[in-house]
Each structure stands twice: as C-alpha cells, then as structure tokens.
Structure 1
Amino acid sequence: MKLKSFFKQCHEKEVFKMLSIYIVSSWVILQVLSITWQPLGLPQKSVAFLIIVLLLCFPLYIFFLWKFRVAPLHKTETEIDERERKKRTTFQKMYFSALGIITSLCVIAVFLIVKRNFSQSSTDIFPKVIKSDKIAVLKFGNNTGDPKYDIVSKMASDWITHGITENDVAQVITQDQINEYRSILKGRNIEEDERTIVKEYLKPSKIISGNFYLKNGNLLFQGMLTDGKTNKTNISFKPTECAAENPLNCIEELNESITGYFITEDQKKLMLQETPPKYEAYKYLLEAKYSNDNEAYIELLNKSIAADSTYFEPKVLRVAHYYNLGEFKTADSLLKQIKPDSYSNKRQLNLLNMYKALLKGENRTVYKTILKEYEIAPFDLQTNKTAMVVALQYVNRPEDVEAIYKTVAMDSMNLQNCSDCTIRIYVKAYADIELGKYNSAIQLMENTQKEVEATLLNRPLTIAYIRAGKGEELDQFLRKIAIIAASAEVQELYLQAGKEYLLKGQKEKANEYLNKVINAEKGTAAPKILADAFFYKEEYQKAQRILKDVYGQEPKNTDVLVKLAISNQKREKVADAEKNLRTLEGLRADHQFGEIDYAIAQYNAAINNEPELYKHLLKAVANGHLYHWKFFKNDPQFKKYNKTKAFEEVMNFWK
C-alpha cells in the first residue's frame, strides 16, 4: 500500500479527526495550566509534568483508537474478497508501524524533557533558584515607644537574614525587597499591610517576625515562625534579654535560636560577619544603603568602618563603590586591606574573589562568583541586574540573560519608581539583539517607553530597528527624538544608525545618517561625534583635523588616538601614524582591561594585518575587555573579519 492510500483510508476512517481532537484538547489544557499554575499554588514544573503525561498517553490513545473505532469498522463488513483482506492487512501493518514510530518519538521527547527539567548536572551553569521553600524575614516591631530604637527593628531582620542564607537553609525574602515591592507595585497603597504584600506577591512558605520592648531598662526580644499560607504560628522562640545600649547581643542570640531551628546545632557557622558589629557601625551602614548621594554614601561607609574596624560588609561596599566609579587603583588598594573573618566563611571569600577577579579582568571567575550571590538572593534587583550585566558584557553569554531576567516578575512593577527595572530591561533588550531576537527586543522596549520616558533605551531601540529591517519605524522614531531630545543625543543616534548600516554593508544608507551629523547646525554635534562621522565616511583628512584638536584636550583617550593613527595612515602619513602608535603603547597601565590592545587591533584591521589583529583582540579580551554594543562584532572597523573562525574564538573566549 502506498503512503497516499494509507492517508486516504485514515481520513475515511476519521483517524485524523480523532487525533486532531486529542492534540487540540491537549494544547488548550496546556495553555490553561501555563497561566493558572501559580495562582492555584501548583509546583513550577506542573506544565512539564502535564506535557510528559500527554506525550505518554498519545500512543495509548492511538492504540485504543484502533481497538474501539477502526477494528470494529472492519468487523461490520463481513463479505470481503481476498484483495480487500490483503488491503486491510497492509493497512493494519502500516498503522502499527506508524504507532511504533510515534511511540519512539514520544519516549525520546519525554526523556529529553525529564533530563532538562528533573535531572541536575554538575556542569549546569545556573544554580537552582529555588533551593528550598522561601522564607520572609519581616522587620521587628518596636514596642518600646521610643523612636530611637526604630533602627534596631531593621538590624534584627537583617541579621537573621544573614544567618538563614549563609547556612544554606533557604532563599530569603528580605525587608528591603518587601519595601521595594511595596513602593513600586502599581495601584497599591504604600501603607498597605506588608504581610498582604508578602503573601500575595512573594509567596513565602514561612514568615519570621517578632517585636521587642523595654523591661527594667533592658531590651526583651521575642520572635516567631508562622506559616506563609495559613498564618498559623509554627514556633515561638525563647525570648532574649540584653542591655538597651547593645541590642545586637539579643539579636545574635535570637538568630542562633532561629538558625538552630532549621539546621543542626553543631553545624559550622558561615555568616557574612562571624561576630556582631558595633551598634554605631551597623547604624552608619544602614544609613549609607539608603543614601542617594555618592559623597554621603562613602562618608557613611567610612564612618561605619571607623566605628568598627572588624566590620566586613562596609569594606566590601567601599571597594564596589570605587570600582563602579572607575577608580580602579583605589578599589584595588582598599581590597588588599580586607581580610576575611576566617577562611571558612564562604560568602566573604566569594565576595573577595569576585572583586579580585573584576580588578584582574578574569571574567570567567567574575561570572561564577556573581552567580553564587545570585543563588543567595535571586529576587534582589541589584544582584539580579548585576548577574545579567556580567552574563552579557563580561562573558558574552546573552543566552543566559533571559533566565536571570525572568526570576523577577515585571508585570506589576511601576517602572517610574524603579531605575533598576529599566536597567534590567535595557540589558535584556541588548541580549535579545545579540541573539537576533529583534522583534522581541523592539516589543519590550516600545512597551517600556509607553510607561516611562527611558532615554537609556533609545540607542538599543535604534539598533534593533535597523537590524530588523524596520526602516520606516526607525525614521518615525528618530523624527520624534529630534523634537523632544537634546541635539547632542540626536546626533549620537544618527551616528549609531550610520555605524549599524555600515555593519549591514549598506554604505549609501550609512552615509545618509552620517551626513545628518556632518550637516547639523554648527555647535550642536560634539567634536568627537563629528570626527567619528567623517571617520566612518572615510573622509580621513577632515576626521584627522578634528581628532587632532580633540586629542589635544584628551591626550589619554585611546579611541581618539587610534582613529588619529588610522586617519594618518590612510592619508599615507606613515611617520605620524607610527608616532601615534608609540604614544598609544606608552599609555599602558594597570586596570585598563585590554583597552590598548583593542585599539591596536583596530589599527591592524585598518591595514589588513590579520595575524596582529587577532593576536591583539585575544589579548584585549583576556585582559577583561567588555563585550558591548560598540565593541568586537558591533564595531564597523571589524566588519571584514567578524565572521571568521578566529574572530569567533575571540567572542567565545570566556565560554
């Protein structure tokens, strides 16, 4: 029997009709469960379980379809000749052969799903986000009647959080995260009961809370553990009493009772701070965390360290502060002064290793260590954002960004009150662009800009429009930007559009946008932007003249210096170009993260010296140069080379 005849008989016996009913019904059930599993309180892998069940039942359904529908049809026709009997036998063989193939495919699919979702490989890049049920630690109630003890409320919840996370008991929802959610949730009253916020949005299995009051001049602390769903008290911990001027003694004792409830009493403590800091030091640290002023922030950190020279956390935060400011020498010097409380304190060692790796440009180690921090606090926006940035820009793993991004639900966030949310969207959009998911990136950014004026997204949106081939949308967007944005920002977007079209090999289209920069009203485009426009148009004489002036003002700007060298070389001023290169080499210093080698690679790309080009690109990335929207394969200067195997090796260096 031919395949066409087999399909015809299947159609006549309504086999396809019955199969379509099963498939459509399964699809509808899956869609419903994918939306309702969380409100119904089902496990996260419920959808995967259902897919497995439906796949395993599919061959059974086909078998029962034969037994109860197709076979009875055959029996009703009693008078058949030999030819018809042979035809039926052949149909039966082909039916069960198809059943065997479908069964094999279903079993393979189930195996892959189980392996992907229910088995744990030691090489998995991502730590488990849910190690065990989440625990919320609420701020302790101040029942003393004295506002000066309000700070103690926060101190108690923070210290208990450290105990739980560092002993690997569970993931913790902290008071800071609760406050952050409460302030940015749409349509919520900021004064709404925090327990309602916790139960409705963060859904912990357990909640730790408590209060303290004055008794004969001393502070008395009480704590309790309640069920996150029923609010039923599981245990009330033994009250602790201490002098009013030293509440951390009470907090530490209560903390030991709580962690002792979850773990064995003899398990070694792995706290971030092995001994409680002094009261004043902790107070200054909390004030620093709530400060939005850089000077005030570092001043408060210094006060915290001065109040308690053994206090670990403000020392690490001070290193991070100077690193983020680009003051790498200061950060490195301060880092070398920090000693861990002990060499068995895992989190302290992890943080120190992370900053050492950052300052050395060892990006693979940076990624591993930030993932450990992410494992402890995946719902913390700062930690989550940092993990996304490191994945994208430090190790070129845009495929990892989405899993980190999805850990924090964005549906209920008020973006106007959440700068970290916008940055997370920014990083996610660039990750999608790098993966070629242009429409996904565009939709994400357009939806965001409907809610908040996020100028941060203008550049990636420009890039996505061009790479998606949406020229009309790009022009409409840029016309709007030209009306509402500052001239300098508009010129930068025109320059970016020109570079993007160069990467696509559309030189005429690129020149159209570069000319917008060149022909802009005098003074509206910054000299460096204007020089870049001439440079990418290959009008090197005009570019060289402007670059020379800019170099006079910024003698350590490597981008200016290498473009000046390239412009001189293109104009056959070889001696001047070599002088520029010698000057560039003379700028080598610590903590440049491959900046000089990247510039030299650009020069070698301009003179078609491929061996030197790849050698310096590898040196640049090995020294910690970032993958970014303007570097490596996103740099028009490497357009001729960015599809080669050697260039791919550069892109995958840290993978």
Structure 2
Amino acid sequence: MLSIYIVSAWIILQVLSITWQPLGLPEKSVTILIVILLLCFPLYIFFLWKFKILPVLKSEIDTELNEEKITNKAAFKKTYFSFLAGITSLCAIAVFLIINKNFTQENNEPLPEIVSSNKIAVLKFGNNTGDSQYDIVSKMASDWIIHGITENRVAQVITQDLIDEYKTSLKGKSTAQDESVLIKKYLKPSKIISGNFYLQNGKMLFKAMITDGITNKTLISFKPSECSKNNPIQCIEDLNESVIGYFITEDKKGLMLQKTPPKYDAYKYLLEAKYSNNNQEYINLLNNAIAADSDYFEPKVLRVGHYYNIKEFKKSDSLLKLIKPDSYTNKRQLNLLNMYEALLKGDNRTVYKTIIEEYKIAPFDLKTNRTAMVVALQYVNRPEDVSEMFKAINMDSMNLKNCSDCVQRIYVNAFSDIELGKNTIAIQSIEKAQKEDQAKLLNKPLVIAYVRANKTEALNAFLRKIKITSTPAETQELYLQAGKEYLLKDEKTKAHEYFDKIINAPKETLDSKMLANALFYKEAFTETKTVLKELHKINPKDIDILTKLAICNFKQANQNEANKNISAIKNLRANYQFGEVDYALAQYYASIDKTPELYNYLLKAAANGHSYHWKYFKNDPQFKKYNKTKEFEEVMNFWK
C-alpha cells in the first residue's frame, strides 16, 4: 500500500507538470503539490497502521495467546513507529526547505531576486519622426553603439535581434510580452541603453538614456545630439562617444570633476596628456580633449595650471576667466576655480585650503598629491604636512623612469625632510631613487642634504661623478649651491672652494651668470660688477641682476648708481610677480643693514605670494644674519 501511494503521487506530479500552463494554474502549482504529498505521506502511514494493520493484530492477539507471538508483534509495532518517526522527520525537513526556498523569500522581498550579468542591452532607437524612411536610422544607431561597446571591450552586448528572437520563441506562452519585462526576466542585463530620435525645425535630434537592468532606475540621460536630417551619422557618432565615455569613466565617478561623463575621445586625449612628459605634447593633447568635448571641465583647468607652471601667468589668467562651472552647485569645480584664482593673486592661504579639499577627494591621484605637497612646502611653509601626503601613495611599484610626477614627489619630500632637519633621511630617499633613475632634478637636494649632514666626502665623491656625467653648466650650478650652503653654515673657506671651481673653470664652459653669482657670494664686488654690467645690457629687466648691481654699487660706495638700480627695480613692478620686487628690495636692504626696511619688504614679498623655495628666505645666504630673529620668523609663518 505504501508503494501504491508513491507511484500514484509520482504520476500525479508528472501530469501536473505538463498541464499547469494550459489549465491556467500558478507556476508553483507543482511545488505546492509536492509539499502536500510530503505532508500526507506520514499521515497515510499512520492511517495504514490504525485502519489496516492494528485491526489484524488485535484479532490475532485475541485468538492466539502464544507469548512469543505477542512479543514479536510488540517488536513489529516498535519498528513500525520508528520508521514512521523517521519518515515524518525527513518529510518535515524537506517541506521546510521547499517552503523556505520558494515562498519565504518572496514574501519578505518586494521584488523577486534577479541575478544580473555584466551584459549591456542595446535597444533599437525609436523613430518618432513619423516617416518610415528613417527606420533604417533606428538600426544604425543601435549598431553603432554596439560596435563602440565591443570595440572598447566595455562589456558583452545583448542586441535587439536577440531580444526579438526571445519574443518570437515565447509567443503562445503565458509570459508577459512587454519588452522591458522580457529583458529583465530572461536576459538579465546590468544596464539597458535605449533612445529615440525626432525631427525639429529641419534638424534631427537624438535622445538616449541608460537605465539599471534590475531596478529600471535611470542612471543617466544624455544631452540631446543635434544634426542635419540628411546626416544622422553625425548625431549617432556624437551619442556613441558620450555612451562610451560614460562606461569608461563609470568606476571613476569619485574622481570625475563633472556629473556628465566626457566623450570617449576627449577622455582618451586627457589620459594621454597625463602620461606625457613633453610640455608641447601635453598642451596639444589637452587642446585636443577640449576640441573633442567643449563641455569637458578637467582639461580646461589643467591647461590653466600648465601655463601657470611655465610662468605664462597672463595666458593662464585669461584662460581661467573663460571657464564656467557646470553649475554653481558643483562645489568641486568651484573649489578648483577658486584655487587657480588664488594662485594668480598670490593668496597662498586660500591656495592651501582649496588644494587640501581637492587632496581629500583624490589623495591617490599623482598630480593632485604632488600639487598638495608643493603648496604645503613652498607656498605656506608647512614642511611638516608633506610627509603624510607623500606616504599616501606607495612608491615601491612605481617606475621612476616613466613617471615624472613620482620623481617630483621624491624631490619635494626630500626638501621637506631637509627643512625639518632630517638630512640623513633625505639622503637615503634620494640615493635609493637614483639607483633606479639618475634624475637630475634630485641632484640639488642631495648636495644640500650632504652639506647640512656634514657628509663632505660623500658630497665630493658625488660632485666628481657629476663632473663626468653632466654638462659643465649643471656641474657649476651644483658647485654654486654647495658654496651657498657652506655660507649658511658660516664656513666661508669651504664655500670659497666651490665658488673658485666655477671662477677657475675654462672660459668656453663658463656661464656668465654663474660666474657673476660665484664672484658675488665671494664678495669680489669689483669683478662681479664688471660681469653684471654685461649681463644687464643683454637683459635690462632682470631683477636679480639689478639687485646684485645695486649691492655691488653700495659696497663700492657708489650710492647714486645704487639708487638708480633700486629705482629701476621699483619701476619693474607688474602683475603676476608674486612679491619678486619686494623680495629683491629686502635683499638690498639686508646688504646695507637697514633692518626695518628689510623686514617690511620681506613681509610684503610673503604677502604677495612669494615662494618659500629652497633658495629663498632662510635658505638665502643674504639673510643669514637675520634668519633667527623673531621678525624673520613672523615672515616664515605669514600663511600659517
């Protein structure tokens, strides 16, 4: 009788699995029947006992009083109910699992869980022109976007043809025929691209959007593309660039400076620019990015920064004035515009505040990180802030030969260590970097660190190597720096040794300005003046030359000539000098021991945005007598 139940149940299940759709029953009818049959199976076994087996046992016990048979029947009863208990447990577990899998989750969730794929469905664009001759444009638009996605390996694509095949194969079945429901239920794309086009005033307009494949939420609605109705390919190409740009930058939303993703070609040009180490190539690529997408914000601000870095401040300022933010609620764009505006005004406190805001957003972006380091060290004199920024990016895996930003970060970090008196650490970091890449940029901080760490032998060994591997001009520049460092340590004899290396160099290898500096710091003012006069004829607006000429004239008791030089310096005041004139005047007054004027002009220089560079302020031998005073400390802390 148990076998009859099992066989009957199996036949009923087979029949229902075939007939539930024609009968219009729910999809889970078979599941419900399995649960019922499982629940009924233990009851059926119990009913067999009560109504079939127990009456027989009772009649046998009543007629046969054999104790052995009574014992055997008791054992059979025990075995039977043990079997019933086991079957009941198995059925209960099976029912629990089935209900939990098929019913409980559905009741707890507003929508059935759908496992999406990384596929992208591209639907045929709707022809809203009312003219059937444009039907081919519908297919053309989707095909063009599909080609762009596959060519750039964005994802696998679900085409309209595949969707149409599914619709055909599902006809006659009780499945919703709405296209969006079909796509979501059977094809499960992660995103769906759809759109339409129409005619307006003789122009063709394309609209497109990307929706989430699960929630149907609109992820982005693209700016309409407009073109001639006789040239729809122009609109399609424009739209394709926008779609690919969205997918390429999708995982970089936190670093994007605008809500609307750039066109793909524009983004590609920008990436190429960021990896370029050639100034002309860099600016050309930025211009190409802006030409490819006139709304692309990032290359516009990078172009402003480029001209600022090469000291074309007027051009940088004019380009900055042309940039408008996407909206006045885009805080990041406004922050960057405020930063460049402050840079061009010499407002270093605002520069630091704004770059820190940008750094918090993108601490691992090399250019942002490097800029924050430079601003901290050279603009607001906060070397203590640099180390943490430097450590934010792990340099172990970086190839210094192909990463100018990496070398510049090491350069700035080394100078911050030197400013903090960590000369040995600076030497170790530079020497480690130079084992991989003999970057000339790192030579100067290495010389400075050697002198300040009293490593004379290491310094001389390094300079002997430089004399062989570098040009005479590069070697003489390092001699000059070593000499200036020894002057700061009040070791004139050693300083003069390095100045003499420049003065005694062969004339054909000697740079006149280098010679003038060596003679000036050696206080050979008569010889210095002779060289400076020749340089002044070549470049009469060079403020550094005029300042040294004024000092030489004063030291030779030629006050009238010194005054003429000072007047010439003052007449050179112009925009975008960032305190250069005031700093020069402070140098002059330091040389003639007029301390009130010295501190006044130094403070003005700092206030106008003069850099706290490795060769200025307390690193300038001309201020050695004054750089430990309270007034000088006030200058150093002006922006803190």
Describe the superposition over 1:466-513 as per-residue Cα deviations: whole angstroms up to 9, x where unpaired.
111111221122122122221111111111111111111111111111
- In structure 2, the residue matched to 1:149 is 148
Q: Which letter does structure 1 place at the counterpart of 2:531?
A: I
Residue number among 485, 491, 503 corresponding to 1:500 in the alignment: 485
How many angstroms does 1:584 deviate by?
Answer: 0.6
Structure 1 CA distance, aligned partners of 2:360 and 2:512?
A: 46
Deviation at 1:294, TM superposition (A): 3.5
User: What is the SS of the residue equivalent to 2:509?
Assistant: coil
- For the residue of structure 2 that corresponds to 1:211, the secondary structure is coil
Q: 1:148 to 1:490 in 2, by over 3 A?
A: farther
How far has the Cα of 1:628 moved from its partner? 1.0
| Equivalent position to 2:563, from 578, 584, 590 | 578
Answering whether residue 157 of structure 2 is matched by residue 213 of structure 1, we say yes
1:597 to 582, 594, 606: 582
The 2-side partners of 1:528 and 1:270 are apart by 45
2:523 equivalent to 1:538: yes
Structure 1 SS opposite 2:507: coil
The separation in 1 between residues aligned to 2:189 and 2:305, in whole angstroms, is 36
Structure 1 residues 296 and 218, CA, compared in 2 at 3 Å: closer, same or farther?
farther
> What is aligned with 1:548?
533
Letter in 1 for 2:529: Q
- Match for residue 240 of structure 2 among 241, 247, 252: 247
Normalised by the length of structure 2, the TM-score is 0.63
1:459 aligns with 2:444: yes
8 A Cα contact 1:316 1:335, kept in partner: yes
Note closer, same or farther for the CA distance 1:605–1:146 as it changes in structure 2 (3 Å cut). Answer: same
Instruction: Give the TM-score, by structure 1 length.
Output: 0.62
- Pairwise CA distance, 1:270: 12
Structure 2 residue aligned with 1:557: 542
Match of 1:527 in 2: 512
SS of the residue corresponding to residue 604 of structure 1 reads: helix
Identify the residue that residue 608 of structure 1 maps to in structure 2. Answer: 593
The higher-RCO structure (CA 8 Å, 6+ apart) is 1
Retained in 1: the 8 A contact 2:121–2:189? no
Q: 2:473 aligns with which of 479, 484, 488?
A: 488
Aligned to 2:434: 449
Is contact 2:376–2:383 with CA below 8 Å preserved after alignment? yes
- The answer to which of 241-250 and 356-365 deviates more is 241-250
Structure 1 residue 351 corresponds to structure 2 residue 336: yes
1:366, 1:390 within 8 Å by CA — same for their partners in 2?
A: yes
Q: Give the structure 1 partner of residue 109 of structure 2.
A: none
- Hey, what's the Cα distance between the residues in 1 that align with 2:529 and 2:162? 75
Correspondence 1:566 to 2:551: yes
Residues 151/490 of structure 1: CA separation in 2 closer, same or farther (3 Å cut): farther
The verdict on how the C-alpha distance between 1:499 and 1:584 changes in structure 2, with shifts beyond 3 A counting, is: same
2:391 to 385, 403, 406: 406
Q: Which amino acid aligns with 2:497?
A: E
State the Cα deviation string for residues 127-181 of structure 1 (Å, max 9, x = none): xxxxxxxxxxx9x999999997379859xxxxxxxxxxxxxxxxxxxxxxxxxxx
Superposed, 1:125-204 pairs within 5 Å as 149=148, 153=152
**Amino acid aligned to 1:497:** A
Q: 1:575 to 1:148 in 2, by over 3 A?
A: farther
Q: Is the 8 A contact 1:605 1:637 kept in 2?
A: yes
Alpha carbon RMSD of aligned pairs, Å?
3.8
The residue type paired with residue 471 of structure 2 is A
Q: Is the 8 A contact 1:391 1:401 kept in 2?
A: yes
In the TM superposition, what is the alpha-carbon distance from 1:313 to its structure 2 partner?
2.4
Q: Equivalent of 1:385, from 370, 377, 382?
A: 370
Per-residue Cα deviation, 1:198-251 (whole angstroms, up to 9, x for no partner):
xxxxxxxxxxxx615373599999659xxxxxxxxxx97869899963136657
Aligned to 1:312: 297
Aligned to 2:615: 630
Give the Cα separation in 2 of the matches to 1:616 and 1:478: 36
CA contact (8 A) 1:432 1:441 kept: yes
Displacement of 1:285: 4.2
In the alignment, does 2:626 pair up with 1:641? Answer: yes
**Which blocks of at least 5 consecutive residues in structure 1 are unaligned?**
1-137, 155-209, 225-234, 263-268
The answer on whether the counterparts of 2:148 and 2:244 sit within 8 Å (CA) in structure 1 is no
Structure 2: unaligned runs, 5 residues or longer: 1-117, 123-141, 164-182, 192-212, 223-234
1:555-576 Cα offsets, whole Å, 9 max, x none, are 2211111001101111111111
Compute the displacement of 1:283 (Å). Answer: 5.4
Q: 1-side partners of 2:251 and 2:283: how far apart? A: 33
Q: Which amino acid in 2 is paired with 1:616?
A: Y
Q: Aligned partners of 1:366, 1:463: CA distance in 2, in Å?
A: 28
| Offset from partner CA, 1:11-32 (integer Å, 9 cap, x none) | xxxxxxxxxxxxxxxxxxxxxx
* Pairing 1:473–2:458 present: yes
CA contact (8 A) 1:288 1:296 kept: yes
Structure possessing the higher radius of gyration over alpha carbons: 2
Residue 486 to residue 286, structure 1, CA distance change in 2 (3 Å):
closer
- List aligned pairs for 1:288-367, cutoff 5 A: 288-289=273-274, 291-367=276-352
What is the number of equivalent residue pairs in this alignment? 446
Provide the secondary structure at the position in 1 that maps to 2:157.
Answer: strand
How far apart, CA to CA, are the structure 2 residues paired with 1:218 and 1:368?
Answer: 54
The residue that corresponds to 1:114 in the other structure is none
CA distance in structure 1 between the aligned counterparts of 2:255 and 2:424, rounded to whole angstroms? 46
CA positional deviation for 1:654: 0.8
Taking the aligned partners of 1:258 and 1:421, their CA distance within structure 2 comes to 24
Deviations 1:337-380 (Å, cap 9, x if unpaired)?
22212211111101100100110111111111111111111111
- Structure-1 residue corresponding to 2:175: none
Question: Matched residues in 2 for 1:257 and 1:595: separation?
Answer: 45
Aligned-partner residue type, residue 149 of structure 1? G
1:471–1:294 Cα change, 3 Å: closer
**Distance verdict in 2 for CA 1:279–1:388, change over 3 Å:** closer
CA shift digits 1:394-414 (9 cap, x unpaired):
111110110001111122323
Comparing 311-320 with 331-340, which one deviates more in the overlay?
A: 311-320
Aligned-partner Cα distance in 2 for 1:426–1:509: 26
Report what 2:125 is aligned to.
none
